[in-house]
Amino acid sequence: MALARNRRGGESMNYWPGFVDALSTLILSIVFILTVFVVVQFVLQQEISGKDTALQRLNAQIAQLTELLSMETSSKGDIEQQMAQLRASLATAEADRDKYKGIAEGSGAGLSAAQGKASDLATQLEGEKKISAKALAQVEILNQQIAAFRRQLAALESALDASEKKDKESQAQIANLGQRLNLALAQRVEELKSYRSDFFGRLRQIIGNRPDVRIVGDRFVLQSELLFDTGKADLKPEALPEIDKIAAAMAEIGAKIPADIPWVLRVDGHTDVRPISGGVYKSNWDLSAARAIAVVKYLATKGIGPQHLVAAGFGEFQPIDTGTTDEAYRKNRRIEFKLTER
């Protein structure tokens, strides 16, 4: 009997060191798991901080949105992989807990201690489950952020498409408006050409065929000798009846032109190339401008509205005959009347 008791006592002394080693190994495993979890939590905090920074720069980094989404997806995969590892570790720890709990229940002397260890282990496992749930919540937040990024990208693409469509519509409207405007201008030009033809025809009837009065292109031309003395810009008295005829014809035609057509009667003064010597005027330019102004002022006194009159001096710079004969000089000394647009 005593020998049996001693034998049982010897077996108990050999069992507990192994049990203690197993518990130590379990505790070290749990510490290692907690250390891994702390590292994972730090990594998650760094990732979340990085996402906050990315959110603040979203408006300035739309061009990098695709790359950011890829990074977020990769981070999500890493976290899910770590969660899978944590779940595997939890399953292993639960198996160890059940194993040692069974051992504790099978041993009479260490039952209370084993139950305490099992309770502590269960508490630790519950804490790890909560931490795991928190990590899953962080993963869900990351998923929501990725979805928000995608919605913003879709909104930007939709706004870009709308802007391009509106731009195309505006360009089409501008092209249509330009065509209509060109058509309207062409119609106005044609109307003005018809009135110009009437004006020239009326002048031809009034003045008749005179060698010093002619039509050149779209201009009615009078030689300067008909209106002015040499080197002067004062209208000669005998020239006034001729200008009266022009004023009468212009008044007759001007009354027919619609008010919305911006017409003017332009009076151009021209001289020959020979320089002026002495007198009031310092150059042919001054003389030609003064003569055109004198004609315009006289036409204004004959009822033609000043808003429809323009005076221009070209000097010797627009000759119609480049010769050096007296006949060429005479042709270049002229006053031209042109009915045109303002």
What is the per-residue pLDDT for 1? 45
Whether residue 184 is predicted with pLDDT greater than 70 in this model: the reply is no
Q: How many CB atoms lie within 10 A of CB 262?
A: 13
What does the alpha-carbon distance between residue 100 and residue 105 come to, in Å, rounded to a whole number? 8
Phi, psi at 215, each rounded to 5°: -110, 125
Scan for tokens 């969660």, then name that residue. 83
- Average pLDDT of the chain is 79
Confidence of residue 188 (pLDDT cuts 50, 70, 90): low
What is the per-residue pLDDT for 318? 95
What is the per-residue pLDDT for 329? 95
Closest CA to 120 of 23, 223, 220, 240: 23
Q: How many CB atoms lie within 10 A of CB 249?
A: 22
Most confident of 13-27, 154-168, 199-213, 217-231: 217-231
Mean pLDDT of 203-212: 58
- Give how far the C-alpha of residue 149 lies from the chain's centroid of Cα atoms, to the nearest Å: 24
C-alpha dihedral (14, 15, 16, 22), degrees to nearest 10: 120
Most confident of 9-13, 157-161, 205-209, 230-234: 230-234
Whether residue 317 is predicted with pLDDT greater than 90 in this model: the reply is yes
What is the per-residue pLDDT for 23? 84
Scan for tokens 């001289």, then name that residue. 271
pLDDT digits (tens, 9 = 90+) for 246-299: 898 888 888 888 888 888 999 999 999 999 887 899 999 999 999 999 999 999
Does residue 160 or residue 2 have the better pLDDT? 160
Residue ranges with strand state E in 175-288: 213-216, 219-223, 263-270
CB 118 within 8 A of CB 104: yes
What does the alpha-carbon distance between residue 41 and residue 260 come to, in Å, rounded to a whole number? 81
Whether residue 130 is predicted with pLDDT greater than 80 in this model: the reply is no
pLDDT digits (tens, 9 = 90+) for 292-315: 999 999 999 999 999 999 999 999
CB 44 within 8 A of CB 37: no
What is the per-residue pLDDT for 70? 75
What does the alpha-carbon distance between residue 117 and residue 34 come to, in Å, rounded to a whole number? 17
What is the per-residue pLDDT for 3? 47
Please name the residues in contact with 190: beta carbons below 8 A apart, sequence gap of 6 or more: none
What does the alpha-carbon distance between residue 100 and residue 174 come to, in Å, rounded to a whole number? 86
What does the alpha-carbon distance between residue 143 and residue 52 come to, in Å, rounded to a whole number? 14
**Radius of gyration of the CA atoms of the chain, in A:** 54
Element (H, E) at 208: none
Three-state DSSP class for residue 281? coil
pLDDT digits (tens, 9 = 90+) for 71-121: 777 777 777 887 888 788 778 877 877 777 776 566 555 556 656 776 777
Phi, psi at 284, each rounded to 5°: -65, -30
Mean pLDDT of 315-332: 94
Cα distances from 53 to residues 102, 108, 136, 174, 250, in angstroms, run 51, 59, 21, 44, 78
Scan for tokens 């060429």, then name that residue. 328
Q: How many CB atoms lie within 10 A of CB 339?
A: 24
Most confident of 24-38, 63-77, 93-107, 223-237: 223-237
Confidence of residue 69 (pLDDT cuts 50, 70, 90): confident
What is the per-residue pLDDT for 319? 95
